[in-house]
Amino acid sequence: MQQIDWANLPFGYSDSDYNVRCYYRNGAWGKIEVSSSSVINMHMAATCLHYGQEGFEGLKAYTGKDGKVRLFRCEENAKRMQNTADRVLMAAPPVDLFREMVHQVVKLNARFVPPYGYGATLYIRPLLIGTSPEVGVRPSEEYVLLMFVVPVGPYFKAGFKPVDMMICRDFDRAAPLGTGTVKVGGNYAASLQSLELAKKLGFSSTIYLDAKEKKYIDECGPANFFGIKDNHYITPKSSSILPSITNKSLQQLAEHLGYVVERRPVPFEELSEFEETAECGTAAVITPIKKIVDPVTNTTFNYGDGVNAGPVCTRLYKEYTAIQFGEKPDLFGWTEVIDL
């Protein structure tokens, strides 16, 4: 059996032993099936391929200091997948089914769960797709919920270091009444071109403005945005951003630590007032930002000393990851232990 180099895991796909699948047919979910194939056999006219009837999730399992493997807010991912399913008329998997499949897929791939101490985790990718053949634009009658896992290293190899971001005005990720609030593949397809452009220009990622007026901060490529000023944690409220579970949890943590949390429209100009800014999401938890450049208006916003993360981001990051890795008590009831 091949040895896994825990210290040098990339953040990318690799095969594991098993995935789990559950089929929705004749109006009901079937039994959970275990597969060792990484291939899906499906009809060429499946609605997921033609009309984007698909949604996905991303969550992680963490080996704690005590050796126990924990999931972080799995139920929130289940509920978000239900919202995604409802928005594009797919069958919504029950929360219990979602949770059961997550537990099973982790247990079946227990040898891929990174041990404590490397900052590495087991990434779990649930995928829901419409599989019935259709040529007219209409929802599928049948669905598959599939989950696979990938051991991943820390998102940033160099550690918790700030990045440069580019304001994107030439592309929108999602429309105000579109599908931005749910996790469908189309949103990511819409973001690819601007993300490539930003990377080519040397930026880590993009920050989108609201699609209607281009006046407010929406979110980052695949992460939410927040700014810190005067002990306030400020994050955009908008009808086109994905409700990040990390952001929701950070808001709760920030409040607990004595910061005032504001969730409201954040005007572009306010970028000049923040002491710290960051993106947040499951992959990296918090990615501090040292510079935001708007190439169209030729404006640059700088944060901190240009090298290190700011004190509030650092504190939030440490407290948050300490809960995930079982180093500090989980006062919020966010984690559940997987019985391996």
Q: Which residues bind ligand PLP (CB under 6 A)?
A: 58, 219, 222-224, 242, 244-247, 281-282
Residue of 183, 237, 248, 318 marked active site: 183
* Residue 249 C-beta: closest distance to ligand PLP, Å: 8
* Residue 184 C-beta: closest distance to ligand PLP, Å: 10
* Residue 248 C-beta: closest distance to ligand PLP, Å: 8
Place of tokens 């594009």: 88
* Residue 186 C-beta: closest distance to ligand PLP, Å: 12
Place of tokens 């499951």: 282
Which is closer to ligand PLP, CB of 73 or CB of 291? 73
Instruction: Please report the DSSP string for 200-215 in residue order.
Output: HTT-SEEEEEPTTTS-
Question: What is the Cα–Cα distance from 160 to 172, expressed in whole angstroms?
Answer: 29
Sign of the Cα pseudo-torsion (102, 103, 105, 110, in order): positive
* Residue 3 C-beta: closest distance to ligand PLP, Å: 30
Residue 41 CB contacts under 8 Å (≥ 6 apart), including other chains: none
Q: Which of 222, 335, 223, 205 is nearest to 280 (CA)?
A: 223
54-56 and 33-35 beta bridge pairing = unpaired
Instruction: Using alpha carbons, list the distances in angstroms from residue 189 to 171, 173, 186, 233.
Output: 12, 9, 5, 30
Examine the residue annotation and report whether 60 is marked as an active-site residue of this protein.
no
Which is closer to ligand PLP, CB of 141 or CB of 330? 330
Which is closer to ligand PLP, CB of 18 or CB of 72? 72
Which is closer to ligand PLP, CB of 46 or CB of 182? 182
3-state SS, residue 258: coil
**Nearest 10 degrees: Cα torsion 84, 99, 112, 144:** -50
**End-to-end distance of the chain based on CA atoms, in angstroms?**
20
Which is closer to ligand PLP, CB of 245 or CB of 278? 245
The catalytic site residues sit at 183
